[in-house]
């Protein structure tokens, strides 16, 4: 009888596994399209799209950061198959978040967008996180690893933790006006645990 770990590994190796994960990652977009078609996004659809796309960017980022710890702790190396796809979907949702902000809040007026980034710290921090995710997305392919070299590529992609911190700070400042930090606390706790695991593993590896 197969162990739980062996069953998960078998599922991850299935030829349809990537396609299923791809479709699951599209569910937030499908939900928004449905909401737009049925006029079911609440009293302020524009704000709902901006905030929801930001939420899903953070959720996707947390999932990406969970892949390596889960892969090592559960001993399921096949999970690495999905990491690049999940990372690119994270970038896809941050692009939608930026697009919704630029469209609904700023009317695609580049001068106003630039002024807003310079004037409001939480917008600046969010924009910096989006730029960081852009660098990770464009260097996520094998050709980039060959061009940059493995060490420099790894050093760049380790900045994903700093980008995640910027994302949580962006969310914190956005919620500060209403003093609503419940969701922020959840993301901060998840990120703290993931970073703590990384630090623990680093020192454990050094001792060994």
Express each pLDDT in 20-74 by its tens digit: 999 999 999 999 999 999 999 988 999 999 999 999 999 999 999 999 999 999 8
> What are the C-alpha distances in Å from 147 to residues 23, 81, 85, 150?
31, 22, 21, 9
Torsion of CA 76, 81, 82, 87, to 10 degrees: 120
- pLDDT, position 2: 59
Range of the domain at 98: 4-207
User: CA dist 36 to 31, 39, 49, 108, Å?
Assistant: 9, 5, 10, 20
Instruction: Give the per-residue pLDDT at 180.
Output: 79
Mean pLDDT, rounded, of the chain? 93
* Count of domains for the chain: 1
Give dist(CA 157, CA 180) in Å, integer. Answer: 31
Q: Given this model, what pLDDT does residue 1 score?
A: 54
Cα angle value 158/171/159 (rounded, 5°) = 10
Residue corresponding to tokens 């703290």: 192
Is the predicted pLDDT of residue 8 greater than 80, yes or no? yes
DSSP annotation of 140: -
Q: What tens digit of pLDDT does each residue of 103-148 get? A: 999 999 999 999 999 999 999 999 999 999 999 999 999 999 999 9
Task: Answer whether 88's CB lies under 8 Å from 94's CB.
Answer: no
Helices (H), 38-120: 45-73, 83-100, 110-119
Contact between residue 184 and residue 168 where contact means Cβ atoms under 8 Å apart: yes
């Amino acid at each position: 009888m197969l162990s739980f770990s062996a069953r998960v590994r078998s599922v991850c190796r299935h030829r349809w596994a990537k396609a299923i994960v791809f479709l699951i990652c599209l569910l937030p977009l499908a939900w928004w399209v449905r909401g737009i078609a049925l006029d079911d996004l609440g009293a302020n659809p524009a704000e709902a799209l901006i905030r929801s796309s930001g939420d899903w960017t953070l959720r996707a980022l947390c999932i990406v950061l969970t892949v390596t710890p889960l892969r090592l702790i559960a001993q399921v190396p096949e999970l690495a198959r999905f990491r690049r796809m999940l990372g690119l979907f994270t970038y896809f949702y941050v692009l939608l978040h930026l697009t919704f902000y630029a469209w609904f809040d700023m009317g695609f007026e580049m001068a106003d967008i630039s002024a807003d980034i310079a004037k409001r710290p939480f917008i600046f921090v969010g924009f910096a996180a989006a730029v960081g995710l852009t660098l990770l997305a464009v260097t996520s392919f094998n050709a980039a690893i060959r061009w940059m070299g493995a060490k420099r590529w790894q050093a760049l992609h380790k900045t994903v933790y700093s980008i995640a911190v910027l994302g949580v700070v962006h969310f914190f400042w956005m919620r500060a006006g209403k003093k609503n930090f419940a969701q922020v606390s959840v993301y901060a706790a998840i990120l703290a645990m993931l970073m703590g695991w990384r630090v623990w593993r680093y020192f454990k590896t050094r001792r060994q």
